Chains A and B, each alone.
Chain A
Amino acid sequence: MRGTGEPGYLHTARGSLFTLRHPPERPCQGVILHLPAFTEELNTCRRVSAQAARHFASQGWWVWQFDPTGCGDSAGDMAQASWQDWVQDAQAVLQHALREPDLPEQAPICLWGIRAGALLCADVLPAAQALAGQRPVHLVWWQPQLHGKQILQQWLRVGSAQAWLGQTQGTGADAAGALARGESVCVGGYTLSASLAADLNAARSVTPPPSHECARLVWLDVQASAEPSPGNARLLDTWQSQGWQAQWEPVNGPLFWQAPGREDAPALAESSLRLLGHPSA
């Protein structure tokens, strides 16, 4: 299920974090830290992210994956987790990753976020830039969700959708009401605390931190149309205006975050490396 990669545990103030470390199979190009998708999407994206991690490693990148506190195989209970816990988890893994002895001094760092992981990237970025020192920090986003409020709404809707399809009772309005009263809710098998919901409602990537000179933002959306949506186009402009080399491309492929698929999506990883300016093999 996990594929290749060396499993391990990193001990943090929040408990043990499950990590997967993929050493580079060629002279080292840099470090990629994966920031995963949220709740059920963490599972539906596993196959595609595992394939991509293997591809990146085969092209010379150190790739680190982890399960955030309260998720997957990491310690803790999602009902007690906060968005800030997850930001600190990512910082801890990056700090650990930068201790690899054979990592060249100027080798870049990439924060690779899928879906809600992209919002986590944006929040981790300032700390990553501080840890990076002279190294460039690039961003790679796949089908990003950059508004916490929207992430929360979509997730509550999954619970409602089970009711629409006659699988459960209750509605999203019930869940939203419970959260507003400070109660936790259980939706689609995941327990969300009122405080994590509040964190999400507040989390929104609006002001990108200024970039180092050559920092790239690689943004891939799985879609047929050749242009980004108006909302995404505005976001790309905002990042560009802060000095980021923002590159958006549509990719043909399965909507991999919707269901645990059996289809491959090699174009995502290949395009990511191409747009990062990775020298071709």
Chain B
Amino acid sequence: MKPMSLLPQVLTVLDQALQTQGRALQFNAQTPLLGAVPELDSMTAVSLIGALESHFGIAFDDGDLQADAFADVGSLCALVERALG
């Protein structure tokens, strides 16, 4: 799957895991996450990762879960794409 076609699904999971009340559905690939979305903290980040794994049926490699994966929506999509193989 190309990263861009993951975008709507990733945004839906992001909205639910962080409970942004629909705000995340308006994001695009360039929207910054880390340090920019107040709902993103260590507990919701774990919930987000779990929700992405559950939704896409994937398991992230802990080594891939670094700060740069959370830089923006695009990097999060790329993380999912890598795990999808």
Contact = CB atoms under 8 A, between A and B. Distances in A.
Contact of A255 (B47, B54, B62): B47
Contacts of B17: 255
A160 B50 CA distance: 13
Contacts of B1: none
Contacts of A255: 17, 19, 47
Interface string A158-175: 111111111100011100
A9 to B, nearest CB: 30
Given A164-B66, A164-B67, A158 B46 contact: yes
Contacts, number: 58
Contacts of A171: 62
B43 A166 contact: no
Contacts of B31: none
Interface size class of A (residues with CB under 8 A): 20 to 34
Majority SS at the chain B contact face: helix
A163 B46 CA distance: 12
A44 B65 contact: no
Contacts of B41: 161, 165, 259
A158 B42 CA distance: 6
A255 B17 CA distance: 8
A44 B42 CA distance: 13
B44 A259 contact: yes
A165 B62 contact: no
B49 interface: yes
B42 A258 contact: no
Interface residues of B, number: 22
B62 A160 contact: yes
A172 B44 contact: no
Nearest to A44: B43
Given A172-B62, A255-B47, A224 B42 contact: no
Contact of A158 (B16, B40, B43, B69): B43
Contact of B42 (A167, A229, A254): A167
Contacts of A159: 42
A165 B42 contact: yes
Interface string B35-61: 000001111111101100010000000
B34 interface: yes
A229 B43 contact: no
Contacts of B40: 165
Contacts of B62: 160, 171-173
A40 interface: yes
Contact of A161 (B19, B46, B54, B63): B46
A242 B38 CA distance: 45
A157 B44 CA distance: 11
A165 B66 CA distance: 8
A165 B43 contact: no
B70 interface: yes
Given A164-B69, A258-B19, A258-B43, 7 more contacts: A157-B46, A158-B43, A161-B42, A161-B43, A163-B67, A165-B34, A173-B62
Name the 6 nearest CB pairs between A and B, nearest first. A161-B42, A161-B45, A157-B46, A162-B42, A161-B46, A258-B43
